[in-house]
A and B are shown apart, each in its own frame.
Chain A
Amino acid sequence: MLPTYPTNDFNQGYELLKQLGSFWINTFQSKDELQSFLHGSAQEFAQTHINMLETVACLSRFNVPVFHIEDWYLLIIKKSDANTITSIYQPDDLQYGPQDGSVEERPAGLTQIYGGVDKVDVIQAPLPPSMVDCPIVLQNLVVLPSKVWVKGVDYSINKEQKTIRFRDDPFKDSLVAKREIFDELGVVIDEEIALWVYKGEFDLDYVFTHFGYALNLKLKTSEGYKEIVNTVWDMHLLGASVEGLSLFLSAMSGAQTIIDPEETIEVVRVEENSQLVVTSSRVYRFPLAATLTVTEGNIGDILFHGDPLSDAFSISELSKDSPDYSLLPAISLSRNFRSGQQLSELTFKNHSVSLDYLGTDIDGKAIVRFETFGFPGDIDFFWDYVHTAGVAQGKTLANYLDQRENPPDEPGPLALPATVNPMQFMIENLLKNNLFVIKVKQASFSTGAPGINLFRLLRDVIPPHTTYVVYVEISDLEDIIDLENPGDEEEAGAEEEISNFLGTSALDQSYELSESPGGDVSTYEDISVLAKQVSLTCE
């Protein structure tokens, strides 16, 4: 909502003067000066009023302001501080050397040098320590300004660097109040200008000071941080429901979910820098890289509180009927999920493979296996254990897979299923009742979103007898590495090199190689690919 003027009697000096009585209006000679003083003083009272409202708002985690607002703040910039900050550029934002004049304010003939200003007359200066934004305008005067700088047009704020960047050098502007600074000998050593910031935003750590500390959760102050605090708070209060989890993932990724209990989709549109979803009560904005879960074909559809609108995250509940396994390409089980010796994870892929019937053991018990990836010794140990444990418990894996009713003997290949999906088998038979999957696509995260390191917060609220798998889709970039050929400056490749593998550190058990509990150790081999960064560009 745009600010209005006058918002109340504080903005009108005459109204305040009237309150003093007729003497001050009719008889007192310097009534205009008095009115001006009252007006100015009222502005201070107005600020006190804002502070009081913020104090009251800080009582509620829902209403706590993210930033403190100063109605009018005198921003003083010293010339010596201007341009002491190194600019951070986006790719292709800056070319060093002679300019061709294609970029505004970088005229043809200008030679851009490292460490120099990037544009003629552009001034960049640090903001005061707690100031984070000048969201509307800067003025040279408060009451009747003769010069107004508009954010996004005349200046910009870099919240990461905490700097203000002017399009034109304000030190050269005759309408700006300037003051020279002298040393003890009376020599001018610096110059400073003063500008009034309207509705300046200051980070006083409201969210952390009043609520974040209770969760021992400190992040950079932002709306996202406030949302994270609220969603984690809710999960502490109410438990980790699907809706609570969805709202947490929304806050973590910056990808909004439906806010109101019920909303109807009205518009789905792509703009120059973002995508919009307009509902009956809200407007939701997403980065261009995000894939929306609604299209124009969904206009008129009703969505409910917590429903996602983009593919930034999704939750797959494996315990339900016919879960969607297509979300996962494979599942890897590490020491966190398996007992027994192992050098690395065992991986079970999500595709159909044949069930391997390996005959029977010396006791006539059928032995079966299916495709498993990992260190060969680990695989041998795993399947040996599966069979041995099955024998000890009176029912082997082959017995479990036997498709005959009341089987009279050990199953042969025909009594067993021809194929099995290793990942689905492991999930459905072991994990599905206590495991769910969270898929996140980082490219769809909003700029400045808190990010996936916040998954650690879920450990506190997810029931400990359950857990989740996070599947992170990191980017769409693809590269092909030909392992048959050595790489060169143009293309990546691989070269084989013999080196010692020292293995993991020994625990208190050891065995001779010939006594390995796994299979034939002489047949084991281990292959790894080492990726190296061979070049980078430094600007």
Chain B
Amino acid sequence: MADTKIEDLNPDDILQAELFLTTFIKEQFPSMDLSEGRVLRELLIRPAAIIHTLEKTDLDRLRLSMSIDAIEKDPTLADDEQVDAVLSNFRITRSLGTKSTGQITIVINRKLTTSVPARTIFTLNALEFITKKSFVGVTTEEAAIIDPATQRQIFPRNDGKFSFVVDVEATTAGEISKVRRNTTFDSVTPEPSGLAVAFATQDFSGGSSEETNAELVARFKLALSPAVYSGRTHIESLLRETVPDIKSVSIIGLGDEEMLRDRHNIFATSQGGKADLYVRTASFPESVKLSKAATLIDSATKKWQITILKDDAPGFYLVETILSEGTVETSSSLEITSEVRQLNLVPDNNEFIPDIDTNTEGVYSNYQTAIVQFLDPESDITAVDPLYDVYVQALPKIGTLQDKSSDRHTRNPSADYLVKAPVPAYVTLSLTIQHTELTNPPSSDEIKKSVVDAINDLNFSMGRLPISIIHDSIHNVTGNKNVLVAYPSLMYCRIRKSDGTFINLNSADLITIPDLPEEGITSRTTVFYISVNDIDLTIEQISALPV
């Protein structure tokens, strides 16, 4: 806590103390002259009043420095060390943020042993990612690799080039460093020999910002609550203890319209005993690469089928892309002709299986599976179980959380908890921003990031996406009255239902999550998702007369 200076004292407080002293003395010595400018007033009473006020103010600041709420309102009350000490009273430790990690595919022109030394820097806009250790791309077969941690096999690609992967970590913490799959890096220093291009192999994982005081305050209730399967805050506390990066949780139970699983009786009436835990474990779903063996369904059309098992990508949302193994990652997906979601409720080793009757009840949960059929016109129909790279979109750790909920060490024996990823409401935007010639054009990247953060932060709150939030986030970045958001800004939203169809919404003003509890879709189960790639942003210059 910074020392209080006399000039910082509230003059009214000093006056109150001064009045008290003068009145007190004058009551006993009415003839004593204690008016302004007199010696006793100036040299004795006022300094005493100032000292008393100083002491009281210091005590007040000491008291307030024990409250995070007060520190939020007046950050001069306490430094970070003091704040952390206060947090310890609530069993809270500030998360300092994490750096995102991931793999980068290095494409080279020739199949030659290629080294990538430790601390090689991959640059993307202003972000830097480094290799924490040396890697060597080797031409030997995988079985002959001596040290898989540092030696990576070089594979041929169907564009005539070759590739291998290296592991990298962002140099700074924060969500901004989460790179999406196939994003091409601007430069590599030092550049590996024969480098053609370097891009993100998969979505980077991790990457969170240091917790702000406001975020910490929001966690207080959870910190008070023991991590056990009891009340909603206790359960959320346990979930966050298991997966610290959880963004938001919505727990549906007895008496909630969305609770369908406790109505498995001839009255279709709730009996209780069950809860659905909707957990948003990331701001945006990650792209997960699966290697799946396909079965030929129809040789005439070259239709193949793969099965996505429950443990492949628990709670996944979409099958994004299917490529034959080794195809350039940026290629278009093979045509998907059907996708049928099913449930696998067969227990492994006496595991607890929640009571799920329908796909609506089990969609986006750990128990969801899918049979996907697709056409591969270039395929060899004589091939046996050919491998395909299947990219699915999923939130991380849904399976981990279900395991925790079903684990006999933590499970409530009288309850049945099902962890689900929230129903996805995918948002795309079409925005036009105008600026005068007197103003530099605003940064497209910064605007997109601000809009994405604002929308993805909505979580389970209102179930509404007003355009005002988007405009506000844009103006937070531009901060300039000479930058305008042109009307209309168009918002599109697609909500994936459990049967695979979509509810399409669009508006220039407000997107509202529909209230369809029987389909598991309400503001308590559904969240908005948007990525920077989903924003069509036009920045144009407009003329303005000089003033």
Q: Please indicate the chain B residues that have their CB under 8 angstroms from the CB of A410 in the complex.
A: none
Does B462 belong to the interface (CB within 8 Å)?
no
Kindly state the separation between the CA atoms of A389 and B269 in the bound complex, as whole angstroms: 12
B60 to chain A, nearest CB (A): 7
Q: Is B17 an interface residue (CB 8 A)?
A: yes
B385 at the interface (CB under 8 A from A): no
Give the 6 A-B residue pairs with the shortest CB-CB distance, closest first.
Answer: A434-B272, A464-B253, A40-B24, A213-B69, A214-B220, A461-B231
Contact B56 A55 (CB under 8 A): no
In the complex, which residue of chain A has the Cβ closest to the Cβ of B237? Answer: A236
Complex Cα distance, B226 from A534, in Å, reads 54
Q: Do B66 and A58 touch (CB < 8 A)?
A: yes
Q: Quick check: B271 and A430 within 8 Å, CB to CB?
A: yes
Contact call B235/A338, Cβ cutoff below 8 A: no
Q: Is A44 touching B52 in the complex (CB atoms < 8 A)?
A: yes
Nearest Cβ on chain B to A61's Cβ, whole angstroms: 10
A96 at the A/B interface (Cβ < 8 Å)?
Answer: no
* Total A residues in contact with B, Cβ cutoff 8 Å: 73
5 A-B pairs (CB sep. < 8 Å) = A430-B270, A460-B221, A464-B231, A465-B262, A466-B272
Do residues B254 and A464 form an inter-chain contact, with CB atoms below 8 A? yes
Task: Name 7 extra pairs, CB < 8 A, besides A41-B52, A143-B28, A466-B272.
Answer: A40-B21, A44-B17, A213-B220, A239-B234, A333-B269, A337-B255, A460-B221
Output the nearest chain A residue to B262 by Cβ-Cβ distance.
Answer: A465
Q: Which residues of B contact A (CB under 8 A)?
A: 16-17, 19-21, 23-25, 27-29, 32, 44-45, 48-49, 52, 55-56, 59-60, 62-64, 66-70, 90, 217-218, 220-221, 224-226, 228-235, 251-257, 260, 262-263, 265-275, 412, 414-417, 516-518
Stretch in A30-38, A85-93, A246-254, A261-269 with 4+ CB within 8 Å of B: A30-38
B263's nearest neighbour on chain A, judged by CB, is A339
Would A44 and B48 count as touching, CB distance under 8 A?
Answer: yes
**Number of contacts between A and B (CB, 8 Å)?**
215
**A138-193 interface (Cβ within 8 A of B):** 141-144
Q: CA separation between A128 and B220, bound complex, in Å?
A: 33
Type the 1/0 row for A345-383, where 1 means its CB is closer than 8 Å to any CB of B: 000000000000000000000000000000000000010
Q: Which of A55, A59, A386, A460 contacts B233 (CB 8 A)?
A: A460
Asked if B59 and A48 make an inter-chain contact with CB atoms under 8 angstroms apart, the answer reads yes
Is the CB–CB distance between B231 and A41 below 8 Å?
no
Residues of chain A lying within 8 A (CB to CB) of residue B235: 464
Q: B24, B254, B262: which contacts A36 (Cβ < 8 A)?
A: B24
- In the complex, whether A448 has a CB less than 8 A from a CB of chain B is no
Query: With A37-B44, A215-B221, A237-B226 given, is the CB distance from A462 to B231 under 8 Å?
Result: yes
Of B32, B217, B254, the residue contacting A435 (CB under 8 A) is B254
Contact A433:B25 (CB < 8 A) given known A59-B66, A214-B221, A463-B230: no
Interface presence of A397 (CB below 8 A): yes
Q: Specify which of A142, A214, A389, A431 is in contact with B271 (CB 8 Å cutoff).
A: A431
Q: Which of A209, A237, A340, A459 contacts B224 (CB 8 A)?
A: A237
Determine how close the nearest CB of chain B comes to the CB of A430; give it in whole angstroms.
5
Shortest distance from the beta carbon of A518 to any chain B beta carbon, whole Å: 14
Bound CA span A404–B275, Å: 37
Q: Do A213 and B274 touch (CB < 8 A)?
A: no
Q: Is A235 an interface residue (CB 8 A)?
A: yes
Shortest C-beta distance, A130 to chain B (Å), equals 12
Query: How long is the Cα–Cα vector from A214 to B87 in the complex, in angstroms?
Result: 11
In the bound complex, do residue B256 and residue A55 qualify as a contact, i.e. CB atoms below 8 Å apart? no
User: Known contacts A74-B20, A464-B235; is A33 also within 8 Å of B32 by CB?
Assistant: yes
Partner of B230 from the list A54, A239, A508 (CB cut-off 8 Å) is: A239
CA distance A60 to B278 in the complex (A): 35
Report A351 CB to chain B, min CB distance, Å: 20
Contact for B275 among A33, A40, A55, A465, CB less than 8 A: A465
Interface residue? A313 (CB, 8 A): no
Which residue of chain A is the closest to B236 with respect to CB atoms? A460
B394 to chain A, nearest CB (A): 25
**Which residues of chain B have C-beta atoms less than 8 A from A431's C-beta?**
270-272
